Amino acid sequence: MASQILNFKELKLESGTVLSDFSLAYETFGNYDSEKNNVVWVCHALTANADVFDWWKGLFGNNDFFNPKDYFIVCVNMLGSCYGSEQAITYAIKNNLNPLDFPLFTIRDIVKSLELLRNHLRIKKIKYLIGGSMGGQQALEWAYLQPLLFENLVVLATNARHSAWGIAFNEAQRLAIKADQTFGSLAENAGEKGLKAARACALLSYRNYEMFVKMQTDEDEKTENFKAISYQQYQGEKLVKRFNAYSYWYLSKAMDSHHIGRNRGSMEEVLKTIKAKTLVIGISSDLLFPIEEQQFIADNIPTAKLVIFDSAYGHDGFLIETQKIANAIQQYF
Ligand code: COA
């Protein structure tokens, strides 16, 4: 594994604002083959990072479908995230700004930043582009922008346009963050309590009724201190140790912006121009990105196949059900 941070001069954002002097952190695993024909590019989801071997074990690993013996694997910590790439709080500290003065950016801007890095690495062909959830949103956008770059595309638990339901969930989380009076101050832990509440809210959309009842029902007959409470608290505490409220704020807004058809005609027309051989994977219990959204993508990308599988884990199934995902990829490609 090799970790790098690269600096770039500027990125003209969809809003017209120019983001100057920014960095992108990324990791690579394995080596190029003689013709640089074995590149796998991974786009990660909301709070993940560039170490795909850590968070997508079972699909990425020495003995997994995507392994460093066969592939050169690249994963970039997306713009705005807090694992080494440019993010609101460190940018504000560096430039003596308010963290909320960081420019708003969209999924399209994130993809534009990936293009800068791809050009730097002189990668001309990508064998597999893969992403789930917000990572799938980036992958779809990129596959549209550069139809000849990608041979194969795998998108999981994602959509062509972020839904009103998804935006409402994100706004509920941002309201929790905003209610924390420390949010707005120039400190990495600003909004920490709000972020804990936001994570608790997000988890409800990542799982479902059945999973909570199965895993978090108390056996004794108590009247307080329920397991479900400590689960929600634990997950919030775990997140604030590795993430900050500003990155969460900006990335959730980028997610809201996702709309592959914006100012381009209909989403159907746009999806029809994607050339990569595409596998769309959905999870029947996913409340956040219901399978109609993957059905829509698959109906409109000419080469797409749709695979829906059952999982008790809801949206989180795209992180957990790696055996089913690997089988589907192996069978289709
Ligand atoms: N009280 C306190 N802690 C509890 C608990 C309870 N009642 N029940 C479980 N836990 C702890 C577990 O011990 C475990 O701790 P650890 O992470 O330190 O090992 C943690 O909560 C996770 O447990 P659980 O959710 O049951 O594990 P899982 O295997 O079903 O799921 C993850 C693993 C990583 C997918 C999940 O924990 C997670 O983080 N989900 C959110 C991921 C995400 O961001 N998804 C959306 C992407 S867009």
Pairing of strands 2-12, 39-43: unpaired
CA 262 to chain centroid, in Å, comes to 20
Pocket test for ligand 1, best of 216, 316, 321, 325 (most atoms within 8 A of CB): 316
Token pair belonging to 264: 């381009």
Ligand 1: residue whose CA is nearest its atom 4: 231
Given a cut of 90, whether residue 275 has pLDDT beyond it is yes
Quick: pLDDT tens for 286-313.
999 999 999 999 999 999 999 999 999 9
Mean pLDDT of the chain: 97
**Ligand 1 atom index nearest CA of 235:** 21
Given a cut of 90, whether residue 105 has pLDDT beyond it is yes
pLDDT of the residue at 149: 98
Given a cut of 90, whether residue 151 has pLDDT beyond it is yes
**DSSP summary character for residue 259:** B
The DSSP bridge partners found for residue 308 are 282
Q: Ligand 1 centre and the CA of 273: distance in Å?
A: 39
pLDDT of the residue at 27: 98
The rounded radius of gyration (Å) of the Cα atoms in the chain is 20
Pocket flag, ligand 1, residue 226 (CB < 6 Å): no
Residues 276, 302 contacting (CB under 8 angstroms): no
Q: What percent of the chain has pLDDT over 70?
A: 100
pLDDT of the residue at 1: 85
Nearest to 253, CA basis, from 76, 15, 74: 15
Quick: pLDDT tens for 66-76.
999 999 999 99
| Count of positions (residues) in the chain | 333
Q: What are phi and psi of 235, to 5 degrees?
A: -65, -35
Quick: pLDDT tens for 201-254.
999 999 999 999 999 999 999 999 999 999 999 999 999 999 999 999 999 999
Pocket flag, ligand 1, residue 47 (CB < 6 Å): yes
Quick: pLDDT tens for 86-96.
999 999 999 99
Pocket test for ligand 1, best of 241, 289, 319, 322 (most atoms within 8 A of CB): 319
Given a cut of 90, whether residue 152 has pLDDT beyond it is yes
Q: Ligand 1 centre and the CA of 235: distance in Å?
A: 7
Pocket flag, ligand 1, residue 234 (CB < 6 Å): yes
**Ligand 1 atom index nearest CA of 227:** 7
pLDDT of the residue at 187: 96
